[in-house]
Structure 1
């Protein structure tokens, strides 16, 4: 992927990213997805406002439509996604919006 491809990515259309080894699926709000040859860590550095909710997932906070009472499940466009136990603990303790700046460091 060349540098201009990074710059042309419209992040407002991304709902979440999921990893498969050194590849990442970019999931869009229209339901489509694209496979990219980058690690999730690369994407996390380029998308610092996304939440790391587990080893294999980054989610866009703007597209989260809800949380379960114990924060072990979140919802993007009313579709459930699992949250790691550690991330759920941070969310329970501090709430989903207050942890954005520290979230990924504590939840891996």
Structure 2
């Protein structure tokens, strides 16, 4: 199982990559959203995470998503395109990223509106 070593306050914490649902930018910090846990704020930028986790999808300027947790998506015929995650969470896809992501999202089922 692949893990990621994250600086968390005064210690480092090893987190299995498959437990990361998505990452959200907060200035020069990142909220790491883990399955079944509270988000973890770490002093690593989202850009650094995108380099460390090349399989994660950048759906927005401030959001990286673990494709293993995507259960559906909708990019057409809706006001705000989104990805549906495994724990009933919807994250908005930016208009700029929508066209670029369509081929990558094609392997996931379309979500109902």
| TM-score interval for Structure 1 and Structure 2 normalised by the shorter chain | 0.7 to 0.9
Aligned residues: 95
**Equivalent residue for 1:80, pick from 71, 78, 90:** 90
1:43-82 map, 5 Å: 43-70=49-76, 72-76=81-85, 77-82=87-92
Cα distance change on mapping 1:97 and 1:5 into 2, 3 Å: farther
TM-score normalized by the length of structure 2: 0.73
Aligned-partner SS, 2:24: strand
Task: Give 1:53 shift.
Answer: 0.7
Q: Residue 66 of structure 1 contacts residue 78 of structure 1 at CA under 8 Å; is this kept in 2?
A: no
Structure 1 or 2: larger helix share? 1
Q: Which runs of no fewer than 5 residues in structure 1 stay unpaired?
A: 99-108
Q: Where in structure 1 do 4 or more consecutive aligned residues deviate above 6 Å?
A: none
Give the root-mean-square deviation of aligned CA atoms. 2.4
Q: Which runs of no fewer than 5 residues in structure 2 stay unpaired?
A: 1-6, 108-113
The structure that has the greater radius of gyration is 2
